[in-house]
């Protein structure tokens, strides 16, 4: 049997030790524990828009595990069960809540586990809790940005309408002034005509009055004179 030389042993250790450390690092990142100090619980969620494999799980801002798997459940309606591998030393209760939220505006979502005020039984392996998603801050900012964009567009339209309305008002006022001037001229011209008509009415009335007086004084003469003419 061939004896392993020291150089071969060193080479083997040089390869195996980094590989073992890398394996332990990967297992740690995935939430596995060699000492068996983790437990798996299930998170029921309606969609997987905010939760994915590797999503961090926290309690009061302290990381206690990660999401290691997500499976769809088709009945009674489509939903998903995310497997949460968490630290078994943290005391959680079966009526705890799981809130899906962002750490900050640009950060990845996290799952915050919150114990209730009135504590029940401890959360056990493979228990199911329901997740609640807070309104995404990034989505809110997008909505606010869209609202501001629409508001800016509306303000621009209002400004444009105001400018056009100002021009229209000025034109209307100019036309109104011209119409008033025309009416004034018509009234002035009509006043002259009215005075002439009234003068004619006065003359006619005077003539009719004279005829009436003459008819009263000399009716036979007035009638005879009319026949001769």
pLDDT tens-digit series, residues 130-140: 988 775 555 55
Q: CA–CA separation, 153 vs 148, rounded Å?
A: 8
pLDDT tens-digit series, residues 184-208: 776 676 666 666 777 777 777 777 7
pLDDT tens-digit series, residues 17-39: 877 777 776 665 555 544 468 99
Tell me how far CA of residue 192 lies from CA of 195, 200, 201, in angstroms: 5, 12, 14
Q: DSSP states of 115-176 as a string?
A: --SS--SBP-TT-EEEEEEPPPHHHHHHHHHHHHHHHHHHHHHHHHHHHHHHHHHHHHHHHH
Per-residue model confidence (pLDDT) at position 33 = 47
Which contacts (CB < 8 Å, 24+ apart) does range 153-157 have? none
Residues above pLDDT 90, as percent of the chain: 26
pLDDT tens-digit series, residues 45-66: 998 888 999 999 999 989 999 9
**Look-up of token digits 């959680």:** 92
- Res. 91: pLDDT tops 80: yes
Per-residue model confidence (pLDDT) at position 42 = 95
Query: What's the token pair of residue 71?
Result: 């499976």
Query: What's the token pair of residue 215?
Result: 């008819």
Per-residue model confidence (pLDDT) at position 4 = 61
Mean pLDDT for all residues in the chain: 78
Sign of CA dihedral 143, 145, 146, 150: positive
pLDDT tens-digit series, residues 150-172: 878 787 777 777 676 676 777 77
């Amino acid at each position: 049997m061939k004896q392993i030389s020291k150089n071969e042993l060193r080479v083997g250790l040089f390869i195996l030790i980094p590989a073992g450390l890398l394996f332990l690092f990967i297992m740690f990142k995935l939430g596995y524990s060699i000492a068996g100090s983790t437990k798996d619980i299930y998170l029921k969620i309606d969609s997987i828009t905010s939760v994915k494999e590797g999503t961090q799980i926290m309690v009061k801002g302290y990381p206690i595990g990660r999401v290691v798997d997500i499976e769809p459940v088709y009945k009674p309606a489509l939903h998903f069960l995310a497997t949460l591998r968490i630290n078994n030393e943290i005391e959680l209760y079966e009526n705890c809540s799981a809130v899906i939220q962002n750490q900050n505006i640009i950060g990845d979502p996290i799952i915050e586990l919150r114990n209730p005020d009135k504590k029940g039984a401890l959360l056990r392996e493979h228990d199911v809790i329901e997740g609640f998603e807070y309104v995404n801050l990034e989505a809110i900012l997008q909505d606010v940005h869209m609202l501001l964009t629409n508001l800016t567009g509306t303000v621009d339209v209002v400004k444009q309408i105001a400018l056009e309305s100002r021009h229209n008002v000025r034109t209307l006022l100019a036309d109104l002034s011209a119409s008033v001037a025309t009416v004034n001229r018509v009234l002035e011209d009509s006043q002259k005509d009215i005075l002439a008509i009234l003068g004619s009415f006065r003359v006619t009335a005077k003539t009719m009055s004279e005829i009436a007086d003459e008819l009263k004084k000399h009716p036979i003469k007035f009638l005879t004179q009319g026949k001769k003419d």
